[in-house]
Amino acid sequence: DAKTTQPPSMDCAEGRAANLPCNHSTISGNEYVYWYRQIHSQGPQYIIHGLKNNETNEMASLIITEDRKSSTLILPHATLRDTAVYYCITSTSGSRLTFGEGTQLTVNP
């Protein structure tokens, strides 16, 4: 799995969009990009994943650059409950995930 690089922390104002970047410059053609988040004292929660195309679900949008070397997770209207550690992971199968240290997103009132 490709190594991913994320900023250690970010802040966002409540109600604004949160844009979380991830660099995965060594990603291979068959690796998907997965995003999970972990709220304090809970297990990680799946958010979204994609291969090449941008993806959107009820939780977030995933924007993958054309060269697939980086991606951005977008929470369109962040709430206080979105405060969590966000993990960007690459995987060929979605299993055996290798978690890094993620980005601590703090949503401020």
Classified as helix, coil or strand, 81 is helix
- Asked if 92 contacts 4 with a C-beta cutoff of 8 angstroms, the reply is no
86 contact partners, CB below 8 Å, separation of at least 6: 6, 20, 35, 36, 37, 47, 73, 102, 103, 105
Rounded to a whole number of angstroms, the minimum distance from the CB of residue 21 to other proteins is 17
Interface pattern 35-74 for other proteins (x via CB under 8 A): -x----xxxxxx--x-------------------------
Locate 2 and state its tokens.
């490709």
Of 66 and 101, the one with the shorter C-beta distance to other proteins is 101
Choose, by CB under 8 A, the member of 19, 23, 97, 106 that binds other proteins: 97
- State the residues that interact with other proteins by CB under 8 A: 32, 36, 41-46, 49, 87, 93-102
